[in-house]
Structure formats: C-alpha cells, structure tokens
Amino acid sequence: MWGRPNLYTSYRAETSLLPTWTQRVAMAMFVAIMVLLPFDLPVINQLPFVRFLGDQDWLRIVTQAVIFGIAALGLNLLTGVAGQVSLGHAFFMGVGAYSAVYLGGSPGSGTWGHELPMWIWLPGAGLCAALVGMIVAPAAVRVRGLYLGIATVGLVFIGIHLSRIFPEISGPSETGRSWPGLELRLWKEEDPLVSFADSGHWLWFDIGGGQKTYLVCLLLLTVTVLVSKNLIRSRTGRALQAIRDRDIAAEVMGVPETKYKLIAFGISSFLAGIAGALFASFIGQLPPESWDLLLSVEFIAIILIGGAGTVAGTLMGTFFVVMMPRFMEEAARWMSEQSESGGPAGTFWDSVVSRGDDFGVVATTDIARGFALPTNSLDSLIYGALVIVFLLFEPLGLYGIWLKIRNYWKGWPFTY
C-alpha cells in the first residue's frame, strides 16, 4: 500500500514474500542484474560495482559463490532456522558429489560409474545425501547442542576416510576423479541435447560456456531461495523455529520433534548434496580431502557473517566469504602496483607490501618470511577475524547491518 508500508490488512499480506512495491521493484532489478551480469552488455558493464563481474575470470568465482549459496541455504535451514549445530555440512556435500560421480561418471580402470544423464545424477546426489542426513537425524534427537556439533565433526573425518578406502568411487587419492560435465541428455546418447559447459547459441545470442553454467546455477539457486523462503514462512518453518527456540515447549505444544528434525536434516543435506555435486562437476576434479572440516567451518562462517536464520543474509555471507580471497588478491596486486609508482603514496604502499625479505605486511610471493603474510594466508586470517568481530559486535551479521541502515532511513528524521 502506498505511503503506509507497515499497514497489513490480512495475514496473507503480512507473510507475503515481497510485501511492498519498493521491494518488488528492487527485487526485479536485482534479479535482472544477476541474470544479465555475465554478458558484456553496454549498460550493465558501466555500473560501478558489478562492472568487473562481466569478466570471464570473475565469472568463475561468482558461479562458485552461487553454488555455495545453495549449500549455505541448506545449512541455514538446519542451523539458523532449526537450531541444530552441524559441522558436518562438508560431509553431506561429499556424499552428494560421490553419488553424482557414481551415477553419472564414466567407468574407467578401477573406477565405477554408470554414465547416467544429468537429470538423474543431480537429483540422485541430493536424494542420497538426504537419505544419509535422515539416518543421522535421529541422533540429533538424542544428542543435543554442542555434543551434536562435535559428533558431526566425527562424520567429516569418517567421510574422508571412507572416500579414501573406496578408490572405485573417489578415484586416485591425490587428484580425485573427473566428475560428469553439466550436460543435458535424454539417455546415454553420444551428443548431449544441451551442454552447459560449451559455447553455443541460444535464441538470438551467442553465449559462452561459463555464462551458461552460471545461468544454470543461478536458476537452481533461485529455486532454492524460493523453497527455503516458503519453507520458513510455512507450518514446517514455524515448527522448526519453535524447536530452535525451546524444544520442550515446542513438544508440549504438539510439534513432533523427531519428525521435524528429520525434515530439517533431510532438506539441509539434500541441498548440500546438490551443491556438492554441482561444485565437483563445476571444478571437474577433486581429491577426497576437499570435503574437510575447513569447508564445514567455512559454511558456519558464511551463515554467521551473513546472519543466521535469514535467507538474504545467508546469500550476502556466501558472496562475501567466497569472493573475499579474490578481492584480497586484487588488493595485493593493486598495492604492489602502487608501491612501484613512486612518490609519497608509493613509499607508503611499499612499506605495506613485502617482496621477499623487505619489511611489509602483505607479501606478493607465495611463501613469505618474517611478518609478511601471503594473500592466501591473509584471507583466512581476515575471515577468522571477521567471524570474531561479527560475533562480538554484530550477532545478526551483514543482515543486521542492513537492518540498521534500513531502519535509519525508514525512521528518518527520528532515530526509531
């Protein structure tokens, strides 16, 4: 309603996804930008912040962020909405990835694979992971809180070990095996109907492989966003939130705990499995060690930095955490360029950047000595520090910051 955005006349209006016209227009623009982003369009590539995203090189990172977004939304449902601490998300992603390679991969010397088409292996990966998740779920009824979190750490280690025992599925332990590509076939015919990884021609446009992959992943992410948004505002979502806030009270009010924990684990690991399969297929080849505890911690960091329990926050957190290493690299390159330019600014940046043995904080080499840190260390340092800072000062994460900004303008000129 114009002018009175907080006046709701029905429950339906209050729980709608985009209650006001401002939000609808903003969302439409955002979706349009996300869809048009990979193309070198005259208007989009002039926009100040998204200009670089048209770059093919950046597109890979953005695609990875989109894929991780699917998994992060899954963990958000489990940890943020249902309140079940899980450090085993990487394990479920691994289950999905290996189911995908078992169903869709090509059999080789000593490796198994059935060469099934993508419309089988992608849902199959999700379903296998969901099945494993639902086997784990009853444990969450018995084992609570931090004990559950630590028990799921065990899952990750056991998972990595299992994938090392079965080279038939995971391939050689150093390199891993190659995953099936993102190609749509009806059955096992030679030429795929659509290959998302090849350059080609769609409708009136020439379109590159990276752009197609990005669009497919974006479509899947959009579906995931809609599913989790709708789930949160439905009966199931309310039940999950009741279990998170006070499990006994929820049970007393007639929310069957086991059933809803089963649902939470099932959906969460389904999404993790899909994301794992997509990610592995996108990268092409991954060793078993990729699904380790650090990946799980990364997802926990994503939902905490973004804002636990919120869909928008989770997406913000994903893009932030996944793209930060790249930003760090670019920043380091920029700094070292500045330091070579000379002048007072050059001297300043020269004291920040280290090239081997001289003093500095940021090293341009991979292995640095003394105080300097190479960029790949710097970003894990910064992301650890960010987790600490956000938990200490802004428990709602990036979403909380956004809320503060929004409320400031909403209430202006009053403070609240």
Partner 1 sequence: MSLLATLIAQTDEATAAGLGTVAKLITALGRGLALGSIYALLALSFVLVFKATQAVNFAQGAIALVGTWFLSMLLVNWRIPARWLGDDLARNRYLVWVLALVAAMAMSIALGLIIERSIIRPMIGEPLFAIAVLTLGLEAVLRTVGNDALIGQQRGLRIPWGRTGFEFEGAFLYWTYIGAIVTAAAAFVATFLFFRTRTGIAMRAVAFDQEASMAQGIRVGRVFAIAWGAGAALAVLGAIFFSMSPFGNGVAETGLTSLAFRALPAVILGGLDSVPGALIGGLAIGLAEVFAGVYLAESTGTLGVGYQLVVPYLVMLLVLFVRPYGLFGTEEIRRV
Helix orientation angle between 21-36 and 209-232, rounded to the nearest 10 degrees: 150
Q: Where are the alpha helices (DSSP H) in 166-256?
A: 167-170, 209-232, 235-245, 247-252
String of contacts with partner 1 for each residue 376-395, x by CB under 8 A? -x--xx-xxxxxx--xx--x
CB 124 within 8 A of CB 103: yes
Cis bond upstream, residue 395 (ω within 30): no
SS3 332: helix
Count of residues interacting with partner 1 (CB under 8 A): 48
The reply on whether position 263 binds partner 1 by CB under 8 A is no
Question: d(Cα 225, Cα 308) in Å, to the nearest integer?
Answer: 15
The least distance separating partner 1 from the CB of residue 376, rounded to whole angstroms, comes to 9
Q: Which of 55, 115, 289, 394 is the binder for partner 1 (CB under 8 A)?
A: 289
Asked if residue 334 binds partner 1 (CB under 8 A), the reply is: no
Q: How far is the CB of 179 from partner 1 (least distance, A)?
A: 21
Q: Which stretch binds partner 1 (CB under 8 A): 10-18, 203-211, 311-319, 366-374?
A: 366-374
> In the complex with partner 1, which residue's Cβ is closer, 223 or 388?
388
> To the nearest 10°, the Cα dihedral for 221, 224, 226, 231?
-160
Q: Is 300 in the site for partner 1 (CB under 8 A)?
A: yes
Cβ distance 88 to 295 under 8 Å?
A: no
Closest contact distance (angstroms) between CB of 64 and partner 1 is 20
**Closest distance to partner 1 from the beta carbon of 48 (Å):** 31
| 159, 291 Cβ separation under 8 angstroms | yes
Residues 89 and 74: beta-carbon distance below 8 Å = yes
Nearer to partner 1, 173 or 347 (CB): 173
The residues of the shown chain that bind partner 1, judged by CB under 8 A, are 85, 139, 142-147, 149-151, 153-154, 157-158, 160-161, 164-165, 173, 246-249, 252, 289, 292-293, 297, 300-301, 304, 367-368, 373-374, 377, 380-381, 383-388, 391-392, 395
